[in-house]
Amino acid sequence: MQNILKKLIVLVVILFLWQLLSSSIHTIIPSPIEVFTALYNLSVQGDIFIHIFASLKRVVVGFLIATFLGVGLALITGYYKKIDVFLKPLVEFLRPIPPIAWIPIAILIFGLGDMSAYFIVFIGAFFPIFTNSFFGVSSLPVIYENIAHSFEIKNFIFVKDILFKFSLPYIFTGLKIGIGMAWMSVIAAELIGAQSGLGYFIQLNRLLLRTDNVIAGMILIGFIGYMLSLLLLTVEKIIIPWSIKK
């Protein structure tokens, strides 16, 4: 109860400040009422759902590819420790390049549209997923390797049931950061190189000078991003029952 009350107070304060701000510079900032009206109208009219779906599809595809490649590569590197030597510098070199900086090259290669967006989302999500998974894989205690050798456990089973399962909590840390990065990346990609999606939607409405729609779009972006994180958190709790204790 206490908590809900606190959240409610925060919300009221934000709305109040927002109203205050919009009253002073109304040409730029629409009032909360106007934005919520815009949100209502958009959902009644329905086009917004096409944009939401477009963005979600890109995030899901790019994120899944990043997950398979990021986790897979981490497992391979953890298993064949020798690869580490040349893979690590490559990753450390590519990692600081922000996803947005890849947009021009993505458009050149893939053109405007889904393929570019998948690629940008992939870039955004891959690095946190790979680095966290890799950290997990490389922190497998020696004792587990020893036990696996003693019991003559097959390599495939070792990777699947020991290396992978041990790393799952780390992998999920990567996935949780990765999904946030993926969502931010898709919006950025759509701002520049797409004809649909929430990023495209707010960019278009900026040109149309519909700031109420721009802010409505931003609210949707924040809300959906939050939901994506919650979804992963729920999946994590279902998949990793043994880490409840830790």
Partner 1 sequence: MLELKNISHYYRNQSRNTEISVFENFNLLIGEGEIVSLVGKSGCGKTTLVNIIAGYTEPTSGSVFMNGEKVVAPGKDRIVINQIHDLFDWMTVYQNMRLVSNDDNDINKYLSMTRLSEFADAYPYELSGGMKKRLSLARALVVDPKFIIMDEPFNSLDYQLREKFQEELLDIVRKSKKTILFVTHDIEEAVFLSDKVIILSGRPTQIKKEIVISFSKNKVDSIRDTEDFIFLKKKIKEEM
Residues that bind partner 1 (CB under 8 A): 143-144, 146-147, 149-153, 157, 161-162, 165-166, 168, 240-243, 245-246
Residue with smaller CB distance to partner 1, 96 or 241: 241
- In the bound complex, what is the minimum distance in angstroms from residue 143's beta carbon to partner 1? 5
How far is residue 137 from each of residues 75, 80, 168, 205, 232, measured CA to CA in Å?
6, 11, 9, 45, 20
- In the bound complex, what is the minimum distance in angstroms from residue 139's beta carbon to partner 1? 13
Q: For residue 69, give the nearest of 162, 178, 193 by alpha carbon.
A: 178
How far is residue 166 from each of residues 44, 65, 123, 171, 202, measured CA to CA in Å?
47, 22, 25, 9, 42
Residue with smaller CB distance to partner 1, 24 or 150: 150
Residue with smaller CB distance to partner 1, 100 or 153: 153
- In the bound complex, what is the minimum distance in angstroms from residue 74's beta carbon to partner 1? 17
Residue with smaller CB distance to partner 1, 82 or 245: 245
- In the bound complex, what is the minimum distance in angstroms from residue 140's beta carbon to partner 1? 11
- In the bound complex, what is the minimum distance in angstroms from residue 220's beta carbon to partner 1? 37
Residue with smaller CB distance to partner 1, 113 or 169: 169
- In the bound complex, what is the minimum distance in angstroms from residue 43's beta carbon to partner 1? 43
DSSP3 helix / strand / coil % (the chain, rounded to 5): 85, 0, 15
Residue with smaller CB distance to partner 1, 82 or 152: 152
